[in-house]
Every structure is written in structure tokens, then in C-alpha cells.
């Protein structure tokens, strides 16, 4: 199977590091022109110059702050005045960790702005040209927590459930335009986010970070943490013509972490 995204234009959130960066890299390697989007302009500038251009790809970046929805709205609206997107990867940084007992009502509002409002607003804008072109791919970076909530990630558990339900509704609405909408249920991947969460957990439990990681690996069927590159392969497939009949799904990429059917 040949995955070609030549002439496709992709917008990838949270792509100066971790999972988003690996997705952007793989989409670009498959021929897509990528707009990177995250906070640090310095990192974005560095990464954009490293993306492949051997298939005539033209890459760019957009510096945004997902924590400030008002500003984000303005920046992304301006972007869409001058750009169209065929492949949208909705991905932001994770919300703050903490249990349901620790989190207060305002924390949920903040997480809602970050994980839900940015996604819905960006998708609304992207859908304009996708509908006109009768082709589109929307990929939401979600979490295995929508199937098995994690006790110390109450905000993520709650709001991601809303995102995947919204995505399912949207998939039904836009399928007639050859636009697919899928959620990827992320397991454990080797990124800064996981390192930060592990550091917090190690501190709480008074143990070494390496011990937290070992325990984490032991819960995964294949006994290891995922390489973000592996995430990129799935995203490139979902973004391709080959995946035209896959929509409205929740696809785990977790090495067998989820134990539910």
C-alpha cells in the first residue's frame, strides 16, 4: 500500500513536540504540505525547516496560545482567511492533572476551552473548504481515558468524552462530503507530557520516576511505552485516500493498554 498525501494541505496542532510533531513529520514525509501550530515560535521555526520538501511540499507555522481562546480565535480565523486545509489534526497540550476531588468547577471551564472549544472552532473553519472540495480528514488526538478513565486525570477524562461524542455526531453530518472524522485514543507515548505526569506521580508516591515508568510499561500488553513515530504512521493512514471508509470511530493506539473490549 502506498500512502500518498501529495498536494494535500494539513494543519497539525501541538506540533512543536511530542505526538503532534511526529504526526506533522509523517504527513510531510507522505507528501503533505504542513502548517505546524503551537506556542513556541522558536521551536516552530526550527522544526519547519527540517520537514521534507522533496515532493514540492511547502510548510509553514502558526504561533498560537491554546490557553487563551479569545486570542486563539482571532489568530486561527486570520489563518483561514488566507489558507485552506484538507487534513486537520486537532491536538493541544493536555490539561492539568489531578483527581476529581481536587478539581473545581472553574478548572473544568478552563479544560473545556482548551480541549473542546479550540477543536470545535478550528474544525468549523476547516470544514468550509473541505465541504467545497468534497474531501477532508479530521483526526482528533484523544485518549484511552474515554474508555477507561484515569483517576488522576479528571479534567481530561471529562472533556475528552465530550470531544469524541461531538466527533461522532459530526462524522454523520459530513460523511456525504467525503469528509471523515476519527478519534485516536492515545495510550502511553514517550513525550514531555508523560515525563511531566510521571515526575508528579513519583513525587506524590515518594518513589523514583524510573519506577513509575516501569509500572506503566507493565500495564501495556507489549510491555513498553509507544514511540510517537508509531502514532504518525496511523495518522498518515487515516489522512489518506486509503482510509476513506473509516469514519466516526475511536481507534486506540495503546500497545494493548486498554483491557476493555
Ligand X SMILES: NC(=O)c1ccc[n+]([C@@H]2O[C@H](COP(=O)([O-])OP(=O)(O)OC[C@H]3O[C@@H](n4cnc5c(N)ncnc54)[C@H](OP(=O)(O)O)[C@@H]3O)[C@@H](O)[C@H]2O)c1
CB of 132 to ligand X, least distance (A): 28
Does 17 bind ligand X (CB under 6 A)? Our answer is yes
Strand pairing report for 60-63 and 87-90: unpaired
Are 127 and 174 in contact by the 8 Å Cβ rule? The answer is: yes
Phi/psi-derived region of residue 196, left when phi > 0, alpha when psi is between -120 and 50, beta in every other case: alpha
Q: Give min distance, CB of 141 to ligand X, in A.
A: 5
CA dist 184 and 141 (Å) reads: 5
179-186/9-13 β-pairing: unpaired
- Shortest Å, Cβ 53 to ligand X: 21
140, 182, 183, 191: which one binds ligand X (CB under 6 A): 191
Smallest distance, ligand X to C-beta of residue 41, A: 8
Given a contact cutoff of 8 angstroms between Cβ atoms, the answer to whether 117 and 66 are in contact is no
Among 87, 194, 216, 253, contact with ligand X (rule: CB under 6 A): 194
Q: How many residues lie near ligand X (CB under 6 A)? A: 29
For residue 139, what are the β-bridge partners? 89, 182
Stretch that binds ligand X, among 36-44, 128-136, 205-213, 242-250 (CB under 6 A): 36-44
Is residue 182 a contact point for ligand X (CB under 6 A)?
A: no
Calpha distance 69→195 (Å, rounded): 26
Should residue 143 be labelled a site residue for ligand X when binding is judged by CB under 6 A?
A: yes
Window 43-82: residues binding ligand X (CB under 6 A):
43, 64-67
Residue with cell 513498553: 224
Angle between helices 118-133 and 154-174 (to 10 degrees): 20
Residue 16 sits in the site that holds ligand X (CB under 6 A): yes
Binding site for ligand X (CB under 6 A): 14-20, 38-40, 43, 64-67, 91-94, 141, 143, 156, 186, 188-189, 191-194
Amino acid at each position: 500500500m502506498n500512502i500518498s498525501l501529495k498536494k494535500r494541505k494539513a494543519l497539525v496542532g501541538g506540533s512543536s513536540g511530542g505526538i503532534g510533531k511526529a504526526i506533522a513529520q509523517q504527513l510531510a514525509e507522505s507528501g503533505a504540505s504542513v502548517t505546524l501550530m503551537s506556542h513556541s515560535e522558536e521551536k516552530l521555526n526550527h522544526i519547519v525547516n527540517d520537514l521534507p520538501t522533496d515532493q514540492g511540499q511547502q510548510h509553514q507555522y502558526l504561533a498560537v496560545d491554546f490557553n487563551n481562546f479569545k486570542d486563539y480565535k482571532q489568530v486561527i480565523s486570520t489563518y483561514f482567511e488566507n489558507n485552506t486545509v484538507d487534513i486537520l489534526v486537532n491536538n493541544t497540550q493536555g490539561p492539568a492533572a489531578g483527581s476529581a476531588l481536587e478539581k473545581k468547577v472553574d478548572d473544568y471551564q478552563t479544560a473545556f476551552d482548551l480541549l473542546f472549544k479550540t477543536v470545535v472552532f478550528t474544525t468549523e473553519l476547516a470544514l468550509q473548504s473541505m465541504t467545497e472540495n468534497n474531501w477532508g480528514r479530521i483526526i482528533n488526538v484523544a485518549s484511552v481515558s474515554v474508555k477507561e478513565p484515569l483517576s488522576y486525570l479528571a479534567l481530561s477524562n471529562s472533556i475528552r468524552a465530550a470531544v469524541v461524542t461531538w466527533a461522532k455526531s459530526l462524522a454523520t453530518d459530513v460523511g456525504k462530503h467525503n469528509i471523515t472524522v476519527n478519534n485516536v485514543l492515545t495510550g502511553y507515548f514517550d513525550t514531555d507530557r508523560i515525563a511531566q505526569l510521571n515526575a508528579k506521580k513519583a513525587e506524590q508516591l515518594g518513589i523514583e520516576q524510573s519506577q513509575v515508568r516501569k509500572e506503566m510499561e507493565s500495564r501495556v500488553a507489549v510491555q513498553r511505552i509507544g514511540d510517537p513515530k508509531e502514532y504518525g504512521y496511523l495518522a498518515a493512514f487515516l489522512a489518506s485516500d486509503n482510509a476513506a471508509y473509516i469514519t466516526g470511530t475511536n481507534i486506540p493506539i495503546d500497545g494493548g493498554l486498554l483491557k476493555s473490549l
